[in-house]
Amino acid sequence: RQQIRDFKQSNGLDKVIVLWSANTERFSDIVEGVNDTSANLLESIKAGEAEVSPSTVFAVASILEGCSYINGSPQNTFVPGVLDLAEEKKVFVGGDDFKSGQTKIKSVLVDFLVSAGIKPTSIVSYNHLGNNDGKNLSAPQQFRSKEISKSNVVDDMVASNRLLYKEGEHPDHVVVIKYVPFVGDSKRALDEYTSKIFMNGNNTISMHNTCEDSLLATPLILDLIIVCELAERVTIKKEGAAGFEHLHSILSILSYMLKAPLVPRGTPVVNALFAQRECMINVFRACVGLPAENHMLLENKLASEIDARQ
């Protein structure tokens, strides 16, 4: 906490936003009495409990200093105790894991297939890279964190079409990440999507993508901080309410830029990329007094409306 104060003072800053972009950690177990409530978590940090990760310690320090905290890595930094603390202190938290390349394409393609009535039955994603992230993810426990964040991206799109998928049915979804030092930051991603089509036929789409991993992530860091800072200045008044209120502490408006969107407990997770983008755009349109965008364009489908403009 003192480091945050010193940084703020030495740089003459009005506010600080903390963003975690360090190595992926292993998933933390949720342990009753350790990290399940804000009070237990604070006591566990004092006691040096092993199940409290470094990123969680940073998150708690940020929240106690009134600084928004964004998790750009896939581990479960935001254990229940952190979320409780953020809501108690009314400080923003956002996560998890930068959505920069393969997952962004996946969220677009699967959304298209499912909405078109085409049923993805198998999704296999293979990656290899040689930077420090790749080396860290070669450890099984750290890879499990990344596997979870990359695999959950299709869940809400599958659930949106119960004509294609029965309750509990899901595509086979496999994620592989390998460390190849020679390729450095030049990440290689190969995807294969197999889908059921008309008359029980099969369709396979294969994709290969090569990208500079760090150069994809850096603009997301800037955008996440900019959008978060703007959200800190937004207040909303509902019709009939006595006063204005801030957005919920769990800042789901950042979902467009994150693989495993963190949302308020009890609310739906949206992974479809264009739906996430429309959400963010329409919130900011409302801030400047503009109506929400929609694609119905009914005024262009009625002869009376078209004739009146001519």
Whether residues 91 and 224 fall in one domain: yes
The one-digit pLDDT tens for each residue of the chain (310 residues) are 999 999 999 999 999 999 999 888 988 999 999 999 999 999 999 999 999 999 999 999 999 999 999 999 999 999 999 999 999 999 999 989 999 878 889 989 999 999 999 999 999 999 999 988 888 888 777 877 777 776 778 888 888 888 999 988 999 999 999 999 999 999 999 999 999 999 999 999 999 999 888 899 999 999 999 999 999 999 999 889 999 999 999 999 999 999 999 999 999 999 989 999 999 999 999 999 999 998 888 989 999 999 998 8
What's the pLDDT at 72? 95
Output the six-digit token pair for 162: 């119960």
Q: Tell me: do 193 and 65 sit in the same domain.
A: no
Same domain, 209 and 222: no
CB 121 within 8 A of CB 172: yes
Among 170, 192, 215, the domain boundary falls at 215
Tokens (6 digits) for 276? 């996430």
Would you say residue 304 lies in a domain? no
Based on the domain organization, do 224 and 246 belong to the same domain?
yes
pLDDT at 277: 95
Do 108 and 208 reside in the same domain of the chain? yes
CATH code of the domain covering residue 6: 3.40.50.720
Q: Domain tally for the chain?
A: 2
In a domain, 70, yes or no: yes
Is 303 within the bounds of a domain? no
Residue 300 lies in a domain: no
Residue 258 is predicted with a pLDDT of 95
Do both 130 and 156 map to the same domain? Answer: yes
In a domain, 122, yes or no: yes
Per residue, what are the HEC states of 190-213? EEEEEEEEHHHEEEEEEEEEEEEH
Kindly state whether residues 192 and 251 are assigned to the same domain: no
Structure tokens at 154: 């299709």
User: Could you list the active site residues?
Assistant: 97, 146, 187, 259
Do 107 and 197 sit in the same domain of this protein? yes
For the chain, where are the E strands, in sequence order? 18-20, 69-71, 93-94, 119-129, 172-179, 186-197, 201-212, 235-236, 245-246
User: Are 147 and 17 within one domain?
Assistant: no
* Cα–chain center distance at 130: 24
Do 111 and 173 belong to one domain?
yes
Instruction: Write down which residue in 215, 247, 271 finishes a domain.
Output: 215
Q: Looking at the structure, do residues 231 and 271 belong to the same domain, yes or no? A: yes
Please give the torsion angle defined by the CA atoms of residues 177, 183, 185 and 189, in that order, rounded to the nearest 10 degrees.
-40
Q: Is residue 281 part of a domain?
A: yes
Of all helices (H) and strands (E), which one includes residue 41?
helix 38-47
CA dist 287 and 75 (Å) reads 33
Q: What is the pLDDT of residue 246?
A: 96
Q: Which of 215, 241, 261 is the last residue of a domain?
A: 215
Domain range enclosing 154: 102-215
270 in any annotated domain: yes
Structure tokens at 30: 């949720």
**Do residues 277 and 142 both lie within one domain?**
no
Confidence (pLDDT) at 84: 98
What CATH number does the domain containing 143 carry?
3.30.360.10
